[in-house]
Amino acid sequence: MKKPITKKSESVPTTSLSKFISVGGVASRRKATDMIKNGLVSVNSQVVTEPGYKVEPKDMVIAQGVLIQPEEKVYILVNKPKDCITTVADEKGRKTVMDLIQLDRPVRLYPVGRLDRSTTGLIVLTNDGDLAQRLAHPKYEKKKIYQVTLNKAVTMSHVKLLGHDGIDLEDGHVDIDAISYVMGERKNVVLVELHSGQHHVVRRIFEELGYLVDKLDRIAYAGLTKKDLRQGHWRYLSRSEVAVLKNS
């Protein structure tokens, strides 16, 4: 009988054993940790009892007799329609972005860059937890561009104010990277570019100035655009697009 092991030399790329099991779909991260500590997991035929033990892609991991197959990473861009919820499931039975996706195999996807029910536009679905965290975390400041249709014309003074000074909201100051009228549209339609991830930030910006948002559409997200992607449709991201997301 081979002795339990808890250490291994560091190599690249590696993943903690508990995360490897969780991503493989066998158990949650917490349950995976318990399984490892209870000696129910082996790596290359040797028992491992340390959840943080580093696993390499070539390693054979077995948890409670089940061989863990690393889940292939999936990256999807969705042009979300109105009245669609950006969650995996909805307790009220409303349509979610997951209902828009049809894959040839079961994959646990999670929405990144969430939009409220009435807002349309781009979101990303992925099972890559590291990328999801990078896209969602405020410190990475991913650029977003919105086309905003308001209940009345936006004054030039407000366009200059937002573009130059930004605006103070209840939960902090918001800097606007760029704001402009949309060519060929009435003056109540503007493009707003920002990095802020504050809740309902675009709607609150204009409400603070006395406007109501009639339509809100995110037309660009973290360098991705809606080109050739109709509302309610989706597509896989290309390798180059994934690389840009990871490296930006």
The residues annotated as belonging to the active site are: 116
C-alpha distance across the termini of the chain, in Å = 48
189-194/75-80 β-pairing: unpaired
Residue closest to 217 by CA, chosen among 154, 124, 149, 146: 146
- Backbone φ/ψ region at 89: left (φ over 0), alpha (ψ -120 to 50), beta: beta
SS3 193: strand
Residues 6 or more apart whose Cβ sits within 8 Å of residue 205: 162, 167, 169, 174, 176, 192
Residue 68 burial by Cβ neighbours in a 10 Å radius (0-12, 13-18, 19+)? buried
